[in-house]
Amino acid sequence: MNVHEYQAKEILARFGVAVPEGQLAESAEDARRIAESLGGRVVVKAQVHAGGRGKGGGIKLAADPDEAARHFEEIFGMTLVTPQTGAKGRVVRRVYVTRAVEIEHEYYLSVLVDRASARLLVMASAEGGVEIEKVAAEAPEKIVKVALDPTVGYTAAVGRRVGYALGLEPELVRQFVRMLGSIVRCFVETDASLVEINPLVRTPEGVLLALDAKLNFDDSGLVRHPEIRELRDTDEEDPLEVEASRSGLNYIKLDGDVGCMVNGAGLAMATMDIIDLAGSRPANFLDVGGGASKESVAAAFRILLADPDVRAVLVNIFGGIVRCDRVAEGIIAAAEEVSLDVPLVVRLQGTNAAEARRMLVESALELDVADGLDEAARKVVAAVGGAR
Ligand code: ADP
Ligand code: MG
């Protein structure tokens, strides 16, 4: 789960990370009042779950409260297109007004789970700011990486190593050691999967401040953090993914054109692979789960068909705990509600598969039945116009 910048900063501040003061503004008048209370010079910032806002015109410096009010008017409700939003952009529904900080230098700092080493990894660069992607692509040697030993955790030695690698003077290294310690503690105690501060800035007075903050949380850890779960903003999530999670389905939207409905995460992954192998790409990952009911199958089917990118659907069910005839019932029920206007290929194996196939063939549905996985993939790829 992601949260907004202002929420990430509130959480980080609770762990002792220094952030500039700020407040969410509800109206232009509000933005003016907040700017006044912060001394006039502020930055008005669009809050969306995507980075690159500065480049897209979602971050504006205001010299005085009047200008802050004007920036609010421009940013609130705008469709913000950034390198991370895709061409469709995001509608800005929340606007943050924060003190403008004088910046002497911008650094990049993040903590994440490195799957390769199965450790927490600290990444930092003295070339932080809005061009960090370019640094990563063109000069990766400018990013230092230090993995934390899980038996030891964070130590001042790690902080010093990163701080000196960033070229900080000894006094700032001391500040940095504390700050990184707070960030790691925040990461561990909130079950985060990513903390990213870009930029972390040094002011002319020699203070380190987090000017931007991104926090991602491990969904499986949210059960332990109801106060974080409450920060979920479904306006920022893919509407189909939101609907799927309400129906207890594991659905992730992808960029291909073959919609997949599968039971079991492993089979779902294998199905995506075999679609790719046959020459097309999956439009989604969808695991209807081991105990799929007629209702959850119907919901899954509606979600699949609501995606305009889907040009054919592959249903691949292995009936172990789930009975294939239940799945067939769900498909037939859903097809009665939503019109099925793309080709459908169905592969059912296992418990009551023959019965399910008979039900589907006898239904009014137009579909193609496959026995093997290979055959199913080939058929569905042919249905979207053949291999790419
Ligand atoms: P994004 O990463 O989405 O573009 P940031 O919050 O990092 O958004 O802002 C982009 C840039 O705007 C920063 O690199 C920084 O130069 C400037 N900026 C952001 N917040 C402030 C602030 N409070 N004071 C001064 N400059 C800021
Ligand atoms: Mg940033």
Name which residue sits closest to atom 22 of ligand 1, judged by CA: 100
- With the most atoms of ligand 1 within 8 angstroms of its CB, the residue from 19, 211, 215, 236 to mutate is 211
Average pLDDT over residues 43-68: 97
Name which residue sits closest to atom 14 of ligand 1, judged by CA: 129
Going by pLDDT thresholds of 50, 70 and 90, the confidence category of residue 358 is very high
Distance CA 388, CA 384 (A): 10
* Strand boundaries in the chain, DSSP class E: 22-25, 42-47, 59-62, 79-80, 90-91, 94-99, 105-114, 119-125, 143-147, 192-202, 208-210, 214-217, 250-253, 258-262, 284-287, 312-319, 344-350, 368-370
- According to CATH, the topology of domain 105-229 is D-amino Acid Aminotransferase; Chain A, domain 1 (3.30.470)
- Ligand nearest to the CA of residue 128, numbered in listed order: 1
CATH assignment of 21-99, among 2.40.110.10, 3.40.50.970, 3.30.1490.20, 3.40.50.720: 3.30.1490.20
Distance CA 368, CA 380 (A): 9
Active site residue 189: no
Out of 5, 67, 106, 196, the active site residue is: 196
* Strand boundaries in 117-189, DSSP class E: 119-125, 143-147
Instruction: Write out residues with Cβ below 6 Å of ligand 1.
Output: 20, 43, 51-54, 59, 98, 100-101, 103, 106, 129-130, 198-199, 211-212
Q: What is the pLDDT of residue 310?
A: 95
The residue type of 2 is N
pLDDT per residue as tens digits for the range 296-323: 888 898 899 999 999 999 999 998 888 8
Cα–chain center distance at 326:
33
Q: What is the pLDDT of residue 66?
A: 98
Q: What is the pLDDT of residue 38?
A: 97
Whether the pLDDT of residue 61 is over 80: the answer is yes
Going by pLDDT thresholds of 50, 70 and 90, the confidence category of residue 74 is very high
Distance CA 244, CA 267 (A): 18
Q: What is the pLDDT of residue 333?
A: 85
Whether the pLDDT of residue 334 is over 90: the answer is no
Average pLDDT over residues 335-362: 89
pTM to 2 decimal places: 0.83
Domain borders along the chain are 21-99, 105-229, 238-383
Q: What is the pLDDT of residue 335?
A: 81
Helix, strand, or coil (residue 254)? coil
Tokens of 138: 């063109």
Residue in the block written with tokens 């010079």 = 41
CATH assignment of 238-383, among 2.60.120.10, 3.40.50.170, 3.30.360.10, 3.40.50.261: 3.40.50.261
Whether the pLDDT of residue 292 is over 80: the answer is no
Q: Residue 199 Cα, ligand 2 centroid: separation in angstroms?
A: 6
Q: Report whether 173 contacts 182 (CB < 8 A).
A: no
Going by pLDDT thresholds of 50, 70 and 90, the confidence category of residue 326 is confident
Q: What is the pLDDT of residue 225?
A: 98
Active site residue 108: yes
Average pLDDT over residues 140-158: 96
Distance CA 77, CA 370 (A): 48
Q: What is the pLDDT of residue 322?
A: 82
Q: What is the pLDDT of residue 155?
A: 97
